[in-house]
Structure 1
Amino acid sequence: MDEWFSPALKLMTRAIEIGGIAVIVLGLLGATIGVIWQVLRGRSGSDAFSLYRSNLGRAILLGLEFLVAADIINTVAIDPTLQSLLVLGGIVLIRTFLSFSLEVEIEGRWPWDRHKAEGERSSRRAT
């Protein structure tokens, strides 16, 4: 089992990494095409730019999720050394900071203020 299991894990890890990169690249292309389309249809530049940033941020977040998943598989199943664990910890810390920053940029508010914004939206709909 060992003779095919390790290469299969390495192949799956590489496929997940490629998927993460593809998500980021395709998200960049899709967001760029979307913003050009919105501007050509008459949307204001600031609105289109805001939409562009949020779409691009979402693509980066999703791509980072794939890349971290590949790193976790690599660290836990393929190369479980203390050095690889420390590298994974650093990557997860950086990814958490990036995720937090991107979410603030996309949503325009702190993550813990989400329930306040949802309450304001529902109260506006009721009136």
Structure 2
Amino acid sequence: MSEMIQPFAAWCAAALEAVGVGIISLIALLGLVRAGYGLFKRQPSEAVFHALRQRLGRGILLGLEFLIAADIIHTVAVELTFESIGVLAAIVLIRTFLSFTLEVELSGRWPWQNHEERKSQ
């Protein structure tokens, strides 16, 4: 049974990786197009820059979630060894740190804080 699941899991992991990379690339491209359009329409460059940065950050966050899911599927269903679990733990830790720091950078609050907590600080 395991021989049948491994190829499917490997395919799912590869598909999720492609989706993650595609999301990041597509949102980056669309963000650049919208920024170019904003500059062409003579919008303030600071506002265009801020909007582009927000879009890119959100795209990276969403893409990272898909990449983490792909790594988990690959490790658990395809290559389950102590070494691969250690590598997965390091990758998830690094990507989680990146996600948290991007969230703080974009929203000005930690992901677990709600809007009321932020207003009271």
Q: Under a length normalisation based on structure 2, what TM-score does the superposition of the two structures give? A: 0.88
Q: Give the Cα–Cα distance (whole angstroms) in 2 for the partners of residues 27 and 89 of structure 1.
A: 27
Instruction: State which drifts further: 7-16 or 34-43.
Output: 34-43
Aligned to 1:21: 21
Q: Give the Cα–Cα distance (whole angstroms) in 2 for the partners of residues 80 and 70 of structure 1.
A: 14
Is 1:84 aligned to residue 74 of structure 2? no
Deviation at 1:116, TM superposition (A): 3.7
Deviations 1:21-66 (A, max 9, x none): 1111101101111111122222100011000001000001111111
Q: Give the Cα–Cα distance (whole angstroms) in 2 for the partners of residues 3 and 89 of structure 1.
A: 25
Paired residues, number: 118
Aligned to 1:125: none
1:21 is paired with a residue whose SS is helix
1:62 is paired with a residue whose SS is helix
Aligned to 1:110: 109
Of all paired residues, the percent bearing the same amino acid is: 41
Deviations 1:69-103 (A, max 9, x none): 00000111111111111111111111111111111
Structure 1 runs, 4 residues or longer, greater than 2 Å off = 1-5, 112-119
Is 1:36 aligned to residue 29 of structure 2? no
Aligned to 1:93: 93
Q: Give the Cα–Cα distance (whole angstroms) in 2 for the partners of residues 51 and 43 of structure 1.
A: 11
Q: Give the Cα–Cα distance (whole angstroms) in 1 for the partners of residues 117 and 103 of structure 2.
A: 16
For 1:41, give the aligned amino acid. Answer: K
Segments of 5+ residues of structure 2 without an aligned counterpart are none
For 1:81, give the aligned amino acid. Answer: T
Deviation at 1:5, TM superposition (A): 2.2
Q: RMSD between aligned alpha carbons? A: 1.7
Q: Under a length normalisation based on structure 1, what TM-score does the superposition of the two structures give? A: 0.84
CA contact (8 A) 2:5 2:77 kept: no
